[in-house]
Amino acid sequence: MSTLTQKKGFGAVLWDYLTTVDHKKIAKLYLIAGGFFFILGGLEALVIRIQLAVPDNNFVSAGFFNEILTMHGTTMIFLAAMPLLLGLMNAVMPLQIGARDVAFPFVNALGFWLFFFGGVFLNLSWFLGGAPDAGWTSYASLSLHSPGHGIDFYVLGLQISGIGTLIGGINFLVTIITMRAPGMTYMRMPMFTWTTFVASGLILFAFPPLTVGLLFMMLDRIFGTGFFRVELGGNTIIWEHLFWIFGHPEVYILVLPAFGIFSEIFSTFSRKRLFGYTSMVFATVLIGFLGFMVWAHHMFTTGLGPIANAIFAVATMAIGVPTGIKIFNWLFTMWGGSIKFTTPMHYAIAFIPSFVMGGVTGIMVASAPADYQYHDTYFVVAHFHYVIVGGVVLGILAGVHYWWPKMFGRMLNETLGKITFWLFLIGFHLTFFIQHFLGLMGMPRRIFTFLPGQGLEAGNLISSIGAAFMAVGVIVFLYNVIKTSINGPVATADAWEDGRTLEWAIPSPPPEYNFKQLPLVRGIDPLWIEKMQNKKGMTPAEPLGDIHMPNSSILPLMISFGLFVAAFGFLYHPDGKAWSLPVIILGAVITFGSMFLRSIKDDRGYHIHKEDLQGDDKEVRA
């Protein structure tokens, strides 16, 4: 069906994507939207680095700097890293477990549109009176007293976006539990599927505290309640607890899928089974569990007392053990392997020292007495970016290069890919390595300028030059995408020729039904097992038959759009605007009306008949 639609021109393709419930098209939507927000967050980072390139700079004002700083962090975490990973999960995880779709295709589409409208709503703050300005953590002590509507945009936008992520996580959990192909036991699942599974579990438990915190903040700011207002008996520290009970597992929600991506890449390009598979699975689960035990290490300086600080310090250091297991297993996977130095493998190898540096500084700031010195200096900025950029962003870039031929049917240019890699890696280390020393020299975070003669000039200039390198790397990547989309080499099913998992057993890009016949899984790396027996593709686990498919629907977009409209009414309600209540009602009518339509519509989907499948015999091996 999708091929027919694409022949009908731009309008038909646009309608196809606006109404799609196909996980592969939703993956592309996530990548496009997340990529847009990534570029936006990168531009905000460049403004920060231009402002701090020289002392006493007046490139932007102090107020605008606070807005840029807040929006950079918020955009990169919530609107770039999360959706880009969700895009890769959508594209790959159902294929890796041998499923024809996710468990709830409609909910999958709804999750994307909620994220998208939440992100658009948040960024409209730039044009409607000013962006949020209390930092990406939006501590209540600052945000309750922030004038204008910036924080209200933050609260409402993240509420809408967060609901989308939460239902996406639930969908992935149900898919992995109930839709694995015959023979695909839990201990035969690829590592990327395992990390998707654990990250989705973290989403299920971590996002509700954020939702509650944002709801309290909304009630305090818009309706005058006293959850965080000290003068009304509230407590601003409660916001910090609610935020970090979400915020620390969020780091693992981001970094665990990146670990999964690297596990796939090391195994594929070393032409070896992943070393210590069982220990990798248990390390992943243990990291997920311990991720909930450590949130107050962000709050060592708030006066929790020595006992609480000591407990959280020990728990934080304990996370280093399962992470260390993973690092050694990746090294042992490469040991004795027949390594191919492709672009994804470049990212994977560079990730190990980069991420270990982030881990080492993590152990340093985990020590509560030392943290009193590091806290609120650029040392923490450097640590955080070594974990997020050195782990998550390198992981996303590796995953996009690795699975691009599977998703889009064309190979990216390897030379341009390696140019992107070197520019980005050199830029990353130039930008953030020097910031450790700036922090140790006493440079505070979140300041918009610094005085000359403090010894901070050279470090800040080097850091800003590094940011420019990363920007050029991203531009080269975009050029690579455009160039290869037009005339790149067509990808075969097993695009890298060494694929081990099920996604490489079907055509690139996959047909809308994924698998003509569900595959029979006979062990870890099921495709590799079949290759070793000189078989083409997978042994089917069922006879050829009709395949049931879900219908497309515009309702996920409409439900999300209704919340987007209602949010404007809530935003301007405290101002006494006469139109605010009708706008809230209009948005609620659109959302609940769409839900009602969904509930009364008897949508049975459609079938692809086996006669049509028999005529679709593509060769699936290179």
* Residues 540-580 pLDDT 10s: 888 988 999 999 999 999 999 999 999 999 888 777 778 88
- Tell me what pLDDT residue 332 has: 95
| Residue linked to tokens 């990808």 | 491
List, in order, residues 6 or more apart from 111 with CB less than 8 Å away. 86, 164, 165, 167, 168, 171
Is pLDDT at 4 greater than 60 in this prediction? no
The stretch 368-397 carries a mean pLDDT of 94
Helix (H) or strand (E) holding 461: helix 457-487
Is pLDDT at 205 greater than 60 in this prediction? yes
Is pLDDT at 475 greater than 80 in this prediction? yes
User: Do the beta carbons of residue 435 and residue 400 sit within 8 Å?
Assistant: no
Dihedral pair phi/psi, residue 456, rounded to 5°: -100, -5
d(CA 139, CA 142): 6
Instruction: Read off the pTM.
Output: 0.94
d(CA 113, CA 408): 22
Give 319-348 pLDDT, tens digit per residue.
Answer: 999 999 999 999 999 998 899 999 999 999
The stretch 240-268 carries a mean pLDDT of 95
Give 427-458 pLDDT, tens digit per residue.
Answer: 999 999 999 999 999 999 999 999 999 999 99
Q: Which of 567, 558, 448, 588 is nearest to 128 (CA)?
A: 567
Helix (H) or strand (E) holding 47: helix 23-51
The stretch 105-123 carries a mean pLDDT of 95
d(CA 344, CA 133): 37
Is pLDDT at 517 greater than 70 in this prediction? yes
Indicate the range of 50-59, 201-210, 389-398, 601-610 predicted with least confidence. 601-610
Give 528-539 pLDDT, tens digit per residue.
Answer: 999 898 888 888
Binned at pLDDT 50, 70 and 90, residue 619 comes out as very low
Dihedral pair phi/psi, residue 377, rounded to 5°: -115, 170
Residue 230 neighbours by CB distance under 10 Å: 12
Give the tokens for residue 423. 């520019």
- Tell me what pLDDT residue 465 has: 96
Q: What is the DSSP letter of 410?
A: B
Q: What percent of the chain has pLDDT over 70?
A: 97
Q: What percent of the chain has pLDDT over 90?
A: 80
The stretch 467-494 carries a mean pLDDT of 94
**Helices (H), ranges, 271-342:** 277-290, 306-318, 320-334
- Tell me what pLDDT residue 615 has: 61
| Alpha-carbon 581 to chain mean position | 35
Give 39-58 pLDDT, tens digit per residue.
Answer: 999 999 999 999 999 999 99
Mean per-residue pLDDT of the chain: 92
Q: Which of 309, 287, 292, 290 is nearest to 244 (CA)?
A: 292
- Tell me what pLDDT residue 7 has: 55
